[in-house]
Amino acid sequence: MAWSLVCRAAIPGPSLGLTVHEMPVLGKEDEGLVLVKFLASPINRVDLMVLADQYPIKPRYAVDGEPVPGFDGCGVIVESNHPELEPGDIVIPRELGLGTWRTHAVLPAKSLLKLPRDTPPLAASLLRSSALVAWLLLEEVSPLREGDWVIASAGTSCVAQFLVQLACRKSVHVILVIRDRECMPEMTATLLGLGAAKVLTESELELRGGEAIQDNIVLAIDSVFGSVGQSLIETLVPGGKYVLLGMLGGRLGASPSTRNIYLIAVFHFCPLEALRF
């Protein structure tokens, strides 16, 4: 038997239900398809946006008519009708919306990316939408040099934590902005231990704006939007770049003002669906 976590319509909002069903079968005529057993399937904040119907990409697969959520995960090939994938290969989604919150799935081989077989499942499940996104932000979105400064909201996210560690390898300094919380000392110590140059709360940043930071920030990465995004913009030096990676604060929040857009080289929106490998 197989298990799937499905999204069910409910009032006041959708709910999750665990469904037990027959194991998916890979037929000989199913050319180009593979049977995958999922080993790890994380819950990302973007998954919560999908469940709340706040994200444009929807689950593409369903069980008994009920959609299966889950963007990221790591699986092992059980059976294969594709020459490039063999039983025992470790794979992760190449595309979004494959529905990783289940034990087994029949998927197109072209929708999967093969990794070395000794890759730990948990690490693999965080690779695409966390580590690779962080790498792209540092290497492709804006050319960064040794000594440059970067500021990022949602500082406790996986992307931010990977970003800090990768930036240290380039001698780039990262300031992380996090929500106000009771466990601030512990969280600050954790992020500084990963290599963050500074850790600020959203209230500290919004109250003091650019005055809270004395460094030349050339790149601002925003995953929250609204007033937090505005505060990030105000920290940039002339010619800096503001990247909108996500809107965890919601679409209904106030949009960042463009009154000082003449100072900014580029406003850049970096959606997950654009990141294909």
My answer on whether 40 and 159 are in the same domain is: no
- Taking residues 209-220, report their average pLDDT: 76
- Taking residues 78-99, report their average pLDDT: 97
Q: Which tens digits make up the pLDDT trace of 251-260?
A: 544 444 544 4
Q: Decide which of 85, 120, 155 is a domain's last residue.
A: 120
Q: Which two tokens stand for residue 265?
A: 């080289």
My answer on whether 93 and 27 are in the same domain is: yes
CATH number at residue 79: 3.90.180.10
Q: Which tens digits make up the pLDDT trace of 231-253?
A: 899 899 888 999 988 766 555 44
My answer on whether 86 and 147 are in the same domain is: no
Q: Which tops the pLDDT comparison, 113 or 211?
A: 113
pTM: 0.79
CATH number at residue 185: 3.40.50.720
Find, among 121, 103, 117, the residue nearest to 38 by Cα. Answer: 103
- Give the H or E element holding residue 135: helix 132-136
Q: In DSSP terms, which residues pair with 80 in a beta bridge?
A: 34
Q: Is the pLDDT of residue 182 over 90?
A: no
Contacts of 50 (CB under 8 A, 6+ apart): 57, 58, 59, 69, 71
Q: Decide which of 120, 144, 165 is a domain's last residue.
A: 120
My answer on whether 48 and 94 are in the same domain is: yes
What is the number of other CB atoms lying within 10 angstroms of the CB of residue 167? Answer: 23
Q: Decide which of 120, 137, 172 is a domain's last residue.
A: 120
My answer on whether 132 and 111 are in the same domain is: no
Of 63-67, 114-118, 238-242, highest mean pLDDT: 114-118
My answer on whether 85 and 146 are in the same domain is: no
d(CA 245, CA 273): 11
What is the C-alpha radius of gyration for the chain, rounded to an integer number of angstroms? 21
- CA-angle at 197, arms to 193 and 199, nearest 5°: 80
Find, among 92, 90, 88, the residue nearest to 100 by Cα. Answer: 92
b/e map of 42-52 (b: 16 or more CB within 10 Å)?
A: bebebbebbbe
pLDDT reported for residue 262: 38
Residue 108: domain span = 2-120
Report how many domains make up the chain: 2
Cite the active site residues. 55
Q: Which tens digits make up the pLDDT trace of 4-30?
A: 999 987 767 678 999 999 999 999 889
pLDDT reported for residue 249: 56
pLDDT band at 98 (very low <50, low <70, confident <90, very high): very high
d(CA 71, CA 99): 6
